[in-house]
A = this chain, B = another copy of it.
Amino acid sequence: MNPTPQSSDDVAARAANSRLVRDFGLLIKSATRLEQRIDSALRRECGISHTMLEVLIRLCRRPGEEVSQRQLADNLTLTSSGTTRLIDRMEEAGLVRRVPSAEDRRVALVEPTADGRAAFLQAAAVHAQVVEKYFVKPLTADDYTQLTGALGEIDKALRDDTR
């Protein structure tokens, strides 16, 4: 009856082996491993997590700019409650401080302490080493520009439909 009989196993195997599934898996896996390398190097050598470094990067980008927790949550990929707890830990560690906003009494502005800036500079060096080793060195200059271009397009698609 069935001209090309195939078990559900075969159908499943075909889906599991599809090009798209493999390629997409590679993206997720590489990014995850990369982040794990960075994170463990930072913890070992500076005692801070990768997420904390992301906060410091954002806070040091434009010195003097007011940054609320909401803005941080949007920048990092984090919920607002996750951000609350993250800033709790960083404040505890003396890296940042919360300052009530003068304009809106709901918002807590976050700013780096002197220690936080010092930690940032040290962490940035470690970060740079790992990024260089696994992100830059394996690629030709051309690969690199293509890669970041493609990532930019993906990011745009993600940003476009907020869902």
Which A residues form the contact surface with B (CB < 8 A)?
8-13, 15-17, 20-21, 23-37, 54, 56-58, 60-63, 77, 117-118, 120-121, 124, 127-128, 131-139, 143-144, 146-158, 163
Q: A54-B25, A63-B9 are in contact. Are A138 and B124 (CB under 8 A)?
A: no
Q: How many copies does the complex hold?
A: 2
Using CB atoms, name the residue of chain B closest to A143.
B150
Cα–Cα, bound, A151→B144 (Å): 10
Q: Is there an interface contact between A12 and B154, defined as CB atoms closer than 8 Å? A: no
Nearest CB of B to A111, in Å: 11
A15 touches B120 (CB 8 A): yes
Bound-complex Cα distance A94 to B42 (A)? 39
Contact B11 A155 (CB under 8 A): no
Question: Roughly how many angstroms separate A2 CA and B107 CA in the complex, as a whole number?
Answer: 40
Cβ contacts under 8 Å, A136 to chain B: 20
Q: Is the Cβ of A61 less than 8 Å from the Cβ of B148?
A: no
A148 B33 Cβ-Cβ under 8 A: no
